Amino acid sequence: MRKMGSVKEIVADYVVVGAGSAGCVIAKRLCEIPGASVVLLEAGGTHHPWYIRMPSAFYMPMHKKRFNWGYSSEPEPGLNHRRLACPRGKGLGGSSSINGMVYVRGNPGDFDGWVQMGASGWSYDDVLPYFKKAQTFISEPVNPQYQGESGPLQVSNGQMNNPLYQTFLEAAQQAGYPLRTDLNGAEQEGFGPLPMTVAGGQRASVARCYLQPRPQNLTILSHFSAHKLKIENKVVKGLSGIRNDKPLYVKANTQLIVACGAIGSPALLQLSGIGNPEHLQSIGIPVQSELPGVGENLMDHLEVYVQQSCTRPVSLYKKLSPLGKARIGAQWLTTQSGLGATNHFEAGGFIRSDATKPYPDIQFHFLPAAMNYDGTSQASGEGFQAHVGPMLSSSRGHVRIRTSNPTHQPEIKFNYMSSDEDWRVFRQAIRATRDIFAQPAFDDYRGPELAPGDSATSDKALDAFIRAHAESAYHPSGTCRMGTDKLAVVDPQARVHGVENLRVVDASIFPRITNGNLNAPTIMVAEKVADQIKSEVGTS
């Protein structure tokens, strides 16, 4: 470290901004380049308390500013002008340290669709090796054609000890859907175990899986607030920011990789003068590179909870009382086992909203309890639920900084439910869930419907329920879209158009949102781009 006037300066070959699901992965892989020095910058801290490591406590860090950026959307016209929460991970591991740990790769058709949108080299055949490279599947049986056996990211199936899991799968089969042993395998359509990033009873975040032990040539700087990229003649030289209340400049001799996520990455580019010139000029930011697509194409998944009361005391209701939680926590703290060692989303599935769809566009997460995802409310008795919603919405929003002040939260508008097709698919998702819960397998458990409620049968009633109760599944993506057209931000090698020595690597570069949870495809993207960078310097 040296001083540049009154500003301290750090120099490295590769600088990675953001230690989340992509940043930790790409930093680890770049450390494999012989002789390379890598700096990984993170706005949060590096310490993971017990409630981050304990899988069933995943809702707790979302309520803490220490671990969550705490974003929220603008009032959404399609959802009664509600502001929806948009939590993003803050701290080593990013959102992989606060997410629900569901491991879903997406449908092969998602990635073949990316190619059609200009992301050449990103077909399913191209990306499958990187899903496998990242993964070690630690449950049995292992199918080496689709599952990895030696990667850093540990993935397992739940024990399914609660009888409601098997009941749900049996009911899905009775409703006419196929059962699958691997929803990330040859066929996604159907129902089966939902794998989770849990190993040894603990959360398998990218911080744990990729940075333990820490590579010797990696420097991690926590509590760094990124302010602005330094750009000279269309070449990125480094990044200025604040660390521990003191200015710090980080110089990138070879390349700088932005991995701040679907909200943070476009915001940092815009703060640096990369984006829509009209927007930048309107807030007094000098234009360095005209890229009108920066911050556009924002996508997400919405879901509702279809909740059913349960007539037998087999759900998690009593176990989630204060005394029950204390018992779960005590067992987990001493043995890393029991109900504390699962995310509880152990079964789920994918279906098509109608036969004309080329592949599934609705996802289910089954939970043997009736409660909110964030733990803020719980039904007053025994119950179970399915989280369900459309996966491939055509609604698009944006992320735009409001001012040149990097500490101000950007404007986030998803434009949820802005197409008629979204409403049709969402209604079908609810009705398909009801059909599954009505099957004979649930006869011994099914009580009255809690939500939407037995009286909500018409399209109008379901639409009202969706407007009032739909929540984000916390999957923002697409705001630095990969492609070659005028609204694309990065090329198929994740290099920012028109600016040298700069890449964006995270879910923001997805051309279109994938079918399912986003942590696995984000890690895959980082693995693949890391190989591209290594090939450029002659390292395999």
Residues with catalytic roles: 475
Q: Are strands 198-199 and 202-203 parallel, antiparallel or unpaired?
A: antiparallel
Q: 146 is written with which tokens? A: 């689709």
CB 343 within 8 A of CB 155: no
| DSSP calls for 252-289 | EEEEEEE--HHHHHHHHHHHTTEE-HHHHHHTTPPPSE
Amino acid identity of residue 517, one-letter, is: N
Pick from 307, 437, 453: nearest CA to 382: 307
Amino acid identity of residue 451, one-letter, is: A
Q: Are strands 302-310 and 383-390 parallel, antiparallel or unpaired?
A: antiparallel
DSSP 8-state class, residue 315: S
What three-state secondary structure class fits 323? helix
Residue corresponding to tokens 């509600």 = 82
CB 476 within 8 A of CB 86: yes
Q: Give how far Cα 120 sits from Cα of 22, 125, 189, 409, Å.
A: 20, 12, 26, 34
Q: 221 is written with which tokens? A: 């700087």
Q: 24 is written with which tokens? A: 């930790």
Pick from 425, 449, 424, 423: nearest CA to 436: 449
Helix, strand, coil fractions of the chain, as percent rounded to 5? 30, 25, 45
Q: Which residues fall within 8 angstroms of residue 223, CB to CB, at 6 or more apart?
A: 42, 43, 44, 45, 243, 244
Buried residues in 490-508 as b, exposed as e (16+ CB within 10 A): bbbebbbbebebbbbbbbb
CB 436 within 8 A of CB 446: no
Q: Which residues fall within 8 angstroms of residue 512, CB to CB, at 6 or more apart?
A: 110, 113, 114, 117, 299, 392, 478
CB 506 within 8 A of CB 496: no
Q: Which residues fall within 8 angstroms of residue 124, CB to CB, at 6 or more apart?
A: 108, 109, 110, 111, 112
Cα separation, 389 vs 306, in Å, equals 10
Cα separation, 245 vs 259, in Å, equals 22
Distance of CA 12 to the CA centre of its chain: 29
Cα separation, 350 vs 366, in Å, equals 12
Q: Are strands 7-17 and 2-4 parallel, antiparallel or unpaired?
A: antiparallel
